[in-house]
Structure 1
């Protein structure tokens, strides 16, 4: 797997005399804590002079890099600015950690010791502060690379980080959660980053091995089984490909978890050419990532299972390729879905809602879930409406919608609630079928019409539809990740599951 080795974090009581790089975590306040003050004295006051400008530590993530004098055993000391104490959050800490990881990588450093002294005015325990910085370091450090001739290819050094300033048991517990989250995010990123000749319906099951290792049950439904289940909409989406569609059913139930699960449904179109309504070349270039919703569900289950979360979740992934051929889905086809409702097809490039229709019905009728959440890179419309800041959220449940929006703000995956109104059903009427699969004018708010369409297949369960189109990839390096896949949605859903579990 072309994925960089995961960083290793371990607790330490104090700064070792063998530490080559020491990183001081510091808010924009007057004076250092005891450990930093001792180091500053050994360095003849260099640290305090470097941070004497009140503005030096205001911007979180700023790295003040100092070469230590020969009288000090450490080679380099970095002061990592955390910003004003009252503005410190778990998200700002993670972003600071990501910027630190990028800085250290640029300097060729792989063995830093992070030092945290008590910080007044920050309403977070020391273990959580260190763990969130560590999370940012892991997410930024992740690299997907298939360049066999890249300098150092296949020999990326493991980042090994010692953490000083929190009780061992507390830090162990905090690291268990952030490492599980990072495992899920990183693997979801890898699935999206894989090229379409490496990840497709014929071999998708092979890439689910990390779930089995985490104790997640996997059931694969092939085309014959989908036919028996009446999942003709999903079969139609994949009918133009030489590789028939599948459904992956994932199940995790932690110790003491309730019988009724949470259900997560993911769109897994491994490549979307648009079908017979074929995309233009530029529109097609990133369509390996049209399975970003399915990847996010995989990442979420890994994150929950690897931390042993006492929850019951199921994942349903609709896996297909949308390709043109003589057997492909055609405009004006009428399909009988698994729910028994018929759908008149128009634009074959609106395939995601067809796939989700059968998967939503399957999840609702087989598992009797408390709530269904689907994730899909579904519409260009949501990007036009919200731009690059927010993803779209539609829900039949006000409380769940509010909880998810809050969870997204906590982790930096932002959602904006969009209308789910019965008035949109008027645009889905067909004289020949129960539903037409999109409105006549796809420029007239396609995202809410898609959500209105999907609601017909949820069996009136509490339901959230997350339209994450244009959030699956980034074309620039960011504090919490390099160019490539983002695994958008994994962290928000993990946060939502944990917060709501603690509320119950």
Structure 2
């Protein structure tokens, strides 16, 4: 498994005298805090004078480099802008941390101390501010490369980042959570980046070691068990591959509560050729990432386990390859799903909804969750409709939908609610089966038809369908990551789960007080 350079975060009561690189924080034209003002005095006002330069405004993510300032042992002091303190958000600080990481990496620095002074009028407490900076630095530092000899690899040493002026329980808890989130995102990114000859249904389980180490229970249903259960839709999707399909069940018991868990279902098509309805060559190139939904679910559960979340969560991963052969399922086939409903196949390249149909019903009826969320790189139409800004969200529960959209806005993973209307059911009527897999009109928007199809397999549970097609890869370096797998969905779902957990604590506290 390729590894990113390790980053270790530490806290210190005060700035070490021998710190080689010092980072101080600046909010627009606001003055320095207590610790930085003391540093400024030591340098004879060098820091404050440098901040008056016309090219530096203190906007979020802006870095001002002061080399070898007189009066300090440090070889450089970096002033990191945080922008308008009133407008500061966890996301803006996370992105500022990513900008700082890129700056330090460009300078070849790997030992840094960040001076954390309280920012006046900021909505974030000092501990949260430091933790969000740490998250941004880790996400930006992630890299994936399978070259045995990569130029510059020897120079990619691990980093040590200290936060001076921060001590106490709150800081430790905040850093623990953000490190756990980074672990989850990085894990999901790596799964998506792995080529299909390395990550496939036969090997997927081997890559889940970090989850097992984090205390997550892992159960595998092989093709024999899938046949016994009647998961024929999933079996059909994977019928042509030399690697039989399987379902992997992940169980995180946050409180060992026998009640209703939160359930997350991920589409894990390790390679999607389209089956007999084959894609073109260029369309296939990124199809190793058609398991990004499963990767996000795995990353989420890892993030929850490593921060010690109290929430009970189940992850169900439907793992298969959609390939052509004499064993492939075909257009026109009628398949009996696990739910007992029959489906007339229209297009073998609509394999995701077939796989999810069985996985959703299995999850709903076995675990009886309080809510089900599925993630899938499902349709091209959601990309055409929403472009690169939003992913699609469909739900039968208004409250959950609104809270997820808010969670996505908070972390920069944006979702737009799409229609889940019974009017779409008409397009799924078949003269041969209970359901058609796809509407007849290929030019009609497919994403809402796919969502309407999946609703039939949710056992009427509160449910959210996240169509994240087009979000699994980034063609270029972005604000919080490099080109390649994005780990999209992990941060939003972690933010949402934490909000659910906080809501439960508030209700429990209220009940106790009554």
SS of equivalent residue, structure 1 residue 249 = strand
Counterpart for residue 34 of structure 1: 34
Tell me, in whole angstroms, the C-alpha distance in 2 between the residues paired with 1:54 and 1:130.
Answer: 28
- Aligned residue for 1:8, secondary structure, equals strand
Distance of 1:6 and 1:310 partners within structure 2: 27
1:169 matched residue in structure 2: 169
Q: TM-score, normalised by structure 1?
A: 0.98
State the distance in 2 between where 1:326 and 1:15 align.
Answer: 68
- 1:165 Cα shift? 2.8
Deviations 1:19-66 (CA, angstroms, capped at 9, x unpaired): 100001111133211221222222232211221158723421011111
| Kept after mapping to 2: 8 A contact 1:381/1:443 | no
1:119 match: secondary structure = coil
What does the per-residue CA deviation read over 1:175-219, in whole Å, with 9 as the maximum and x for residues that have no partner? 110011111111011100111111000011111111110000000
1:377 equivalent in structure 2: 377
1:141 is matched with which residue?
A: 141
How far did 1:139 drift? Answer: 0.5
What is the aligned partner in structure 1 of residue 249 from structure 2?
249
Q: How far apart, CA to CA, are the structure 1 residues paired with 2:451 and 2:278?
A: 23
Which residue of structure 1 aligns with residue 440 of structure 2?
440
**1:402-455 deviations in whole A, cap 9, x for unaligned?**
000000001110000000000000000110111110101232110000000000
Q: Do 1:352 and 1:376's aligned partners in 2 also have CA atoms closer than 8 Å?
A: yes
Aligned runs of 1:227-242 on 2, under 5 Å? 227-242=227-242
1:488 maps to 2:488? yes
The residue that corresponds to 1:346 in the other structure is 346
Conserved 8 A contact 1:126-1:165: no
SS at match of 1:465: strand
* Structure 2 counterparts to residues 257-296 of structure 1, below 5 A: 257=257, 259-296=259-296
Within a 5 Å distance, the mapping from 1:49-448 to structure 2 comes to 49-53=49-53, 56-69=56-69, 71-153=71-153, 156-255=156-255, 257=257, 259-448=259-448
Specify every segment of 5 or more residues in structure 2 that has no aligned partner in the other structure, as ranges. 505-514
Deviation at 1:144, TM superposition (A): 0.9
Instruction: Tell whether the 8 Å contact from 1:246 to 1:319 is kept in structure 2 after alignment.
Output: yes
Q: CA deviation at 1:123?
A: 1.6
How far 1:224 sits from its partner (Å)? 0.5
Q: TM-score, normalised by structure 2?
A: 0.96
Distance 1:2 1:24, change over 3 A: same
* Contact map agreement 2:438 2:449 (CA 8 A) in 1: yes
Contact in 2 for aligned 1:238/1:322 (Cα 8 Å): yes
Which secondary structure state, in structure 1, belongs to the residue aligned with residue 241 of structure 2? coil
- Contact 2:46/2:69 (8 A) holds in 1: no
Aligned residues: 504
Give, in angstroms, the shift of residue 154 of structure 1: 6.4
Tell me the alpha carbon deviations over residues 216-247 of structure 1, each in whole angstroms, 9 at most, x when there is no partner: 00000000000011000000000111111000
Report if the CA contact (8 A) 1:9-1:160 is conserved. yes
The answer (yes or no) to whether the contact 1:147–1:153 under 8 Å persists in 2 is: no
Tell me by how many angstroms 1:13 deviates. 1.1
* Distance (whole Å) between structure 1 residues aligned to residue 427 and residue 154 of structure 2: 53
Higher deviation after alignment, 170-179 or 155-164: 155-164
Paired position in structure 1 for 2:512: none
Structure 1 runs of 4+ with >4 Å offset: none
Distance 1:278 1:62 in 2: 47
Q: Secondary structure in 2 aligned to 1:393?
A: strand
How far has the Cα of 1:256 moved from its partner? 5.9
The answer (yes or no) to whether the contact 1:6–1:142 under 8 Å persists in 2 is no
- Distance in 1 (CA, whole Å) between partners of 2:258 and 2:165 is 37
Mark the runs of 5 or more structure 1 residues left unpaired by the alignment. Answer: none
Is the 2:43–2:70 Cα contact (8 Å) retained in structure 1? no
